[in-house]
A and B are shown apart, each in its own frame.
Chain A
Amino acid sequence: MSENRIKVLIAKPGLDGHDRGAKIIARGLRDAGYEVVYTGLHQTPEEIVATAIQEDVNVIGISSLAGAHMYLFPRIIELLKEKGADDVPVFGGGIIPEDDIPVLKKAGIKAIFTPGSPVSETVDWIKENVIAQ
């Protein structure tokens, strides 16, 4: 199994338009050899989960910088469970206050990357935590 076959969905849930980080991560992961699907902006949790299932991705990265992560992130986990796709790990990034991180982790988000994390941190995390099918 080559790790290069790992397929990543980068998604922007909600109305937030800050896509600088999501796009940098998408590009960085692509340069690291992963297959990357980017949803574009303004996706509902339902749309993101549908795309993840349709594209048969191995991992989902979600980004939020406008304060709605406490609703949107857990909602995506909930929908993945409903669709029986909760074996797909989800990581998050953006403006996430420190106090929110344990709550999100408890809700099922596997890792949170906050501003200042180098791209390599996400690349390495995927390498260690995601298995290609």
Chain B
Amino acid sequence: MFTEESIARVAERHQEWDKLLAKRLEKAPERLERFSTVSDEEIKNIYTPEDISELDYEKDLGFPGQFPYTRGVQASMHRGRLWTMRQFAGMGGAEETNARFHYLMDHGETGLSTAFDMPTLMGYDSDSPMSLGEVGKCGVAIDTLADMEILFEGIPMDRVTTSMTINPPAAIMLAMYIATAEKKGVSRDQIGGTIQNDMLKEFIAQKTFMLPPEPSMRIIADTVEFCTKEVPRWNSISISGYHIREAGSTAVQELAFTLADGIGYVQACVDRGLNVDDFAPRLSFFFNAHVDFFEEVAKYRAARRMWARIMRDRFGAKDPKSMLLRFHTQTAGCSLTAQQPYNNVVRTAYQALSSVMGGTQSLHTNSLDETLSLPTEHAVTIALRTQQIIGEEIGVTNTIDPLAGSYFVESLTDEMERKALDYIQKIDDMGGILKAIDVGFPQKEIADAAFNYQRQIDEGEKIIVGVNKYQMDESLKVDLLTIDPVVEKRQRQRLAKVKEERDSAKVEACLKAVEKAALGTDNLMPHLIEAVKSYVTVQEICDCWRNVYGRYTDPGMF
């Protein structure tokens, strides 16, 4: 973008400025010895054309909707359509969550997002001893299709898209969603949505695991193959950096490990004989929006450019849709503070702003009380309004990729890409992401970063307002949402009734068929759909898998 001559002139002026600055600093030094991002990346005092002298507009940025998509995945971006405002919701039983869905839709939400309780996420039914005290606590409890039918009562499944944040039993939830829609007369090619279905980041970060990595990858590849053929509007994997970041990674690590996971999934599907352009357009991504504004914007821009090049150059994708990194964002749960909780509204707004200016397709804004419990209706309304203010009030959506061309942002984007590619190279050298996970490489990198950040907080090197600076004596006066213990009881009763009323011979036959497919190479999905239609429970299917494949247990490194 610059000539050698113009860069040389800037360099001269830069030297003059350095002298001027040195004089100034003799009188009044800078506030800090070192300025760095929340991820501890050192930031210079000023960025100039010298920092982006190599940047080639056409090759590195291009236009929105054009390779390498640095400026956005669609041509019109947020001028055409705002991102999907998708608030993650789920608490108690299917009844309570269904009511929250209706509340959010009545207030302008445009897509649903389902949070499940821990037993459902881990493949246990509400009547399991493993589920004691956990039913409905951090999301909705789903044991059988009977619960799913209540959850989507009155929801137009042909018009609303639904995201389901679930991993080990993701294929089962997709089967239930298809079965519920079909019961309402909505065919599987009409439904749209996302299952998270990203087990690699579970081993790396979120730790909701059930089966060992290899069978986990097989089930994921089954869902990708099935969706490609039968559920064309479904996003089969949401490749997630969110949890990697929440576990304490840096922004670069989030970017690197997420794309390395993406490479792992694409490779697994290609290895099974799928054509990359048949499935890659339905892969989507999920990133964190942390507190460091510019670092986050740079991360999203780098991610788009990297994925486009990976898909084209590494996997030989021809369809431009295969190269698009479409992503959902959630503001950083780990950045919220229990202290002075109303400050969280402000934090969340800035984080959301970074994801909008970074070109997100979909966004969840955290509620101010989410560090304490699931959000109340009041808190979730403020969070949704935050998105609406960003989208329709403050003018940041008037132009596409407004931070492009900033010496700082472009330089930071390059830096993020370079450092993330180094990590991906390291993982390739280890033999791929499964091998890297096996030796604990990403896990250790993240634990080190988390520990380093905590040390910086404890020593006051990094500031969290209200926690290690500007503290106040206060008692927390925030209304919290509590889950009525009645939910657990009601859930068990419903499960008992379903078990009593269903055709047990059919249940047994369905489980046999699932087992046979699990032992062989048949795609599991048709068998799962049959099973859930016969009211086989989540745990019955998961127990079958656990018997066939064994379990994965935490190596417990720290």
Query: Which A residues are closer than 8 A to B by beta carbons?
Result: 10, 14-20, 22-24, 26-28, 30, 36, 38-42, 44, 66-68, 70-72, 75, 95, 97-99, 114-116, 118-120
Contact = CB atoms under 8 A, between A and B. Distances in A.
B339 A39 contact: no
B133 A14 contact: yes
B138 A41 contact: no
Nearest to A40: B556
A68 B337 contact: no
Given A27-B451, A119-B458, A67 B483 contact: yes
Contacts of B556: 38-41
Given A26-B558, A67-B138, A118-B457, A97 B450 contact: no
Contacts of B247: 19-20
Nearest to A29: B558
Contact of B450 (A14, A23, A98): A23
Interface string B369-401: 001111000000000000000000000000000
Given A15-B124, A15-B134, A97-B480, A115 B337 contact: yes
Nearest to A26: B558
Contacts of A67: 134, 137-138, 373-374, 483
- The binding surface of chain B is classed by DSSP as loop
A15 B130 CA distance: 8
- The binding surface of chain A is classed by DSSP as loop
Contacts, number: 105
Contact of A15 (B122, B374, B458): B122
B412 to A, nearest CB: 25
Contacts of B493: none
A14 B121 CA distance: 12
Interface residues of B, number: 46
B134 A115 contact: no
Given A42-B554, A115-B371, A120-B458, A66 B207 contact: no
Given A14-B133, A19-B247, 15 more contacts: A15-B118, A15-B130, A15-B208, A19-B207, A23-B451, A40-B554, A66-B137, A95-B371, A95-B372, A97-B480, A98-B475, A99-B480, A116-B468, A118-B458, A119-B458
Interface centre among B124, B475, B556 (most CB of A within 10 A): B556
